[in-house]
Amino acid sequence: MFKTVMVLGHFRGIRLEVHISWLVIFALILVTLSTTLMHHYPEWRLQTAVLTALFTALAFFASILAHELGHSLVAIRRGIPVKAITLFIFGGMAQLGKDSDNPEDEFHIAIAGPLVSFGLAAIFLALSFLFSPFLEPASVAFGWLGVINLVVAVFNMIPGFPLDGGRVFRAAIWRFTGDARKGIRAAVMGGRVVAYSLFAVGLWNGLFLGNLLGGLWIILIAWFLLTMADVHGKQFDLRQQLVGIQARDLADFELYPIDPTTSIRDWVDHYLLPRSERAALVGNQDSIHGLITLSDIRRIPPADWPDTPVSRVMTGLDRLRTVRPDTGVEEVLTVMTETGFNQLPVMDTDRVIGWIDRNRLLRALEVQLATRPRGS
Ligand SMILES: [Zn+2]
């Protein structure tokens, strides 16, 4: 299958990946920088210009990665797991495992990225100054990197979601009012204002200044910011509603395990079809050995079903991801998505005490959300 994301490696448990759309930016920087350099420094040889552009593009790439690592390492230090850093057409994104619990965490995580970019800008500008007397291409490259990191830092400090400044703004309002929701509303609103202003700037550029490509680019960024601001807002509302719902509220504690020696044929005829279920635990009430699902038996030709015990095709407990009774619903859903399993056993210490099926989970969630009192 065609992959749109390339994994570069792992750092402190964070998956570092590049989305295919990043290549567009990379190519764009490479081409525009090479041509600009050749135009400004006609005395340079072609390969000097191209190599300088290539070095600059790669260092820019590393700068964005460093910015995201800034966010991520502070998040990890504050107990918030980071799954991945993805570089894509509009920059980078660190995927945090959960929302901040307090405005202080939110502030420190948000500010870390721009601080890294400001720091890099200072270092690159100093290097540009140092190299200028004897190595012009290096000085030019460092100068460009210094300016672009400064732009990244300043642009990110605009107070609207999903920009870092939006998160700082959110933290400030949260801290000031003590209300996480007011913070998010303000930051989402800020994000909309930023996005609509950029739309206007993009239109102005395209229609009146004749800068069609630049204008279009700004409009694309505005559209992305607007979408993300709304996603952030909705995600937050949903998370707020899910707070406090745990695996134990959604699990089925009637295990009905089937005996490991049961043939697939018997399971299908006597359990699966009559109960219209898609999966079953295998074992007995005292010990569960694994889980069998519809997709497990698809691998076996129906002619062999009468002679194949379920224990032979099931997924053993040791290979299943499990959750604890107090695991939050958000993590339950994440585990299901990550593993591709629609059923998760619920373990208390070393014993399976229940299991969660995706369909049942969604129904249970609906009931929970409809019946629990709205927190204010
Ligand atoms: Zn950032």
**CATH number of the domain residue 284 falls in:** 3.10.580.10
Catalytic residue among 68, 104, 331, 338: 68
Determine contact, residues 282/312, Cβ cutoff 8 Å: no
Closest CA to 195 of 216, 230, 222, 159: 222
376 lies in some domain: no
pTM: 0.68
Mark whether 15 and 130 lie in a shared domain.
yes
Distance 304 CA to ligand 1 centre (A): 56
207 belongs to a structural domain:
yes
Task: State whether 122 and 174 are in the same domain.
Answer: no
Distance 5 CA to ligand 1 centre (A): 20
Domain count, the chain: 3
pLDDT at residue 66, rounded to an integer: 94
Residue 217 lies in a domain: yes
Residues 6+ away with beta carbon under 8 Å from 25: 89
The low-confidence residues of the chain, meaning pLDDT below 50, are 1, 375-376
Q: Which residues pair with 11 in a beta bridge?
A: 14
3-state secondary structure of 90: coil
Q: Which of 318, 121, 328 is nearest to 238 (CA)?
A: 328
Q: What is the pLDDT of residues 202-255, one digit of tens each?
A: 999 888 888 788 888 889 888 988 888 888 788 777 777 777 788 888 887 777
Question: How far away, in angstroms, is 93 Cα from ligand 1 center?
Answer: 7
* Same domain flag for 364 and 298: yes
| 140: Cα within 13 Å, side-chain hemisphere | 20
**Same structural domain for residues 299 and 202?**
no
Residues 282 and 185 in one domain: no
Report if residue 224 sits inside a domain: yes
Do 297 and 343 fall within a single domain? yes
Cα–Cα distances in angstroms (integers) from residue 98 to residues 165, 236, 239, 282, in the given order: 19, 11, 9, 33
Q: How many angstroms does the Cα of residue 221 sit away from the middle of ligand 1?
A: 15
pLDDT of residue 286: 78
Together in a domain, 151 and 11: yes
Give the burial string for 12-26 (b: 16+ CB within 10 Å, else e).
eebbbbbbeebeebb
Within a domain: 266: yes
Mark whether 308 and 353 lie in a shared domain: yes
Query: Distance, CA 51 to ligand 1 centroid (Å)?
Result: 28
Last residue of a domain, one of 157, 180, 207: 157
Active site (annotated) includes residue 68: yes
Distance CA 200, CA 330 (A): 38
In a domain, residue 268? The reply is yes
In this structure, the answer to whether residues 96 and 61 fall within a common structural domain is: yes
Binding-site positions: 67, 71, 164
**Residue 186, domain member (yes or no):** yes
Are 46 and 105 found together in one domain?
yes
Three-class SS of residue 252?
strand
Q: Quote the domain boundaries for residue 367.
A: 247-371
CA 251 / ligand 1 centre spacing (Å): 38
The pLDDT value given to residue 73: 92
Task: Take residue 134 and report the two structure tokens written for it.
Answer: 């004897």
User: Considering 114, 140, 157, which residue would you say is the last residue of a domain?
Assistant: 157
Q: What is the pLDDT of residue 372?
A: 62
Of 146, 144, 148, 154, the C-alpha closest to 114 is 154
Contact (CB, 8 A) for 26 and 57: yes
Which of 88, 53, 94, 57 has the alpha carbon at shortest distance from 73?
A: 94
Statement to judge: residues 138 and 44 lie in one domain: yes
Last residue of a domain, one of 241, 272, 297: 241
Tell me, yes or no, whether 49 and 196 share the same domain: no
Residue at 327 is within a domain: yes
Strand pairing of 82-88 and 14-19? parallel
The pLDDT, as a whole number, for residue 375 is 45
